[in-house]
Amino acid sequence: MSATAADDDPARAYVPSSDARLATARARHALAARSTVPKVAPDAVLSHTSAAVLHGLTLWNVPLSRVHVTRPPTASGRRTRLLHVHAAVLDADEIEEVDGLVVTTVARTVGDLARSLPFEPALVVADAALHNHLVTPPQLQQVVERMAGRAGCPAARRVVAAADARAASPGETRSRIAIARAGLPTPTLQHVVTAVGAEVDFYWEEFRTVGEFDGAVKYGRALRPGQEPGEVVFVEKRREDALRGEELQVVRWVWDELPTFDTVAARLLRAFERGLRR
């Protein structure tokens, strides 16, 4: 197969299986989005998940099977296996160009996803957009205000109200949701323990307890050129030893523990008790 070809679904495209753009789900979605827009309508704007991919927004547990576009309300919305056409008003300042494609702005994209996704994946997007300085809280608030009365607006308000730029990864966003759902006290995010010179993911001052989410990506980011993963783990152990040397309780958890969080919550509660006795 060589060139892109259309059939009854405008989001269907054909490329050689060796094409490097098929390497990841995000790359495949971007390719499908690029081929879809000209076939839908001149006024079609890439939006929702598709705009998020083009903007490079962090996504977690978000399906990438459909290309999303938004058209004026005079057009009818429709959904196929590969395409979702949304009918909605887009103000001029909610549209921009990315890599030659017309897409919704980051703020509008986050707002649309906050309306349409479950709370957890929606908050991952919002946290990451703020953390990476791609949008500001006032911009998100403005978008939500413009969406007043639309389906999903209450959910979007909840996401924007909860969004926090200090959450540095999907794992940290999901962790703080899990902490809240477990009924645990709200921690301080990205707290610097001055005596050690270390920034920790979660900190409960009253209980002298540190919480750390351990994800593979976290250690990958810590690698310097030529450094082995084992060296990073060793440095992290030294860092934890220093925290414990300050009589701080340290509780760590991993990705697989996030869905239930019961065992982590129990470990945190035991750490709180120990911390109070210090």
What is the β-pairing status of strands 95-98 and 198-204? unpaired
| Same structural domain, 266 and 176 | yes
Burial of 260 (0-12, 13-18, 19+ CB in 10 A): exposed
Q: Does residue 188 sit in helix, strand or coil?
A: strand
Q: Is residue 92 part of a domain?
A: yes
Q: Is residue 237 part of a domain?
A: yes
Question: Residues near 143 by Cβ (< 8 Å), separated by ≥ 6?
Answer: 94, 107, 108, 110, 111
At residue 254's C-alpha, the angle toward residues 251 and 257, to 5°, is 95
pLDDT tens-digit series, residues 86-107: 999 999 999 999 999 999 999 9
| Same structural domain, 155 and 236 | no
pTM for this prediction = 0.86
| Same structural domain, 247 and 143 | no
| Same structural domain, 131 and 224 | no
The distance from CA 216 to its chain's CA centroid, rounded to whole angstroms, is 16
| Same structural domain, 88 and 208 | no
Rg (CA), the chain: 22
| Same structural domain, 115 and 192 | no
pLDDT tens-digit series, residues 42-74: 999 999 999 999 999 999 999 999 999 999 998
| Same structural domain, 180 and 157 | no
Name the domain boundary from 102, 134, 162: 162
Rounded to the nearest integer, the mean pLDDT of the chain is: 88
Q: Is residue 206 part of a domain?
A: yes
Where residue 6 falls among pLDDT bands split at 50, 70, 90? very low
pLDDT tens-digit series, residues 247-263: 999 999 999 999 999 99
Name the domain boundary from 109, 130, 162: 162
Q: Which residues are bridge partners to 95 per DSSP?
A: 104
Residue 216 predicted with pLDDT over 60: no
Q: How many domains does the chain have?
A: 2
Alpha carbon separation from 111 to 119, 123, 160, 176 (Å, rounded)? 12, 11, 8, 21
| Same structural domain, 149 and 202 | no
Q: Is residue 5 part of a domain?
A: no
- How far is residue 244's CA from residue 261's CA, in Å, rounded to a whole number? 23
Where residue 233 falls among pLDDT bands split at 50, 70, 90? low
| Same structural domain, 157 and 235 | no
| Same structural domain, 134 and 36 | yes
CB 258 within 8 A of CB 211: no
| Same structural domain, 189 and 132 | no
For 87, the domain range is 20-162
Q: Is residue 111 part of a domain?
A: yes
pLDDT tens-digit series, residues 123-182: 999 999 999 999 999 999 999 999 998 899 999 999 999 999 999 999 999 999 999 999
Q: Is residue 198 part of a domain?
A: yes
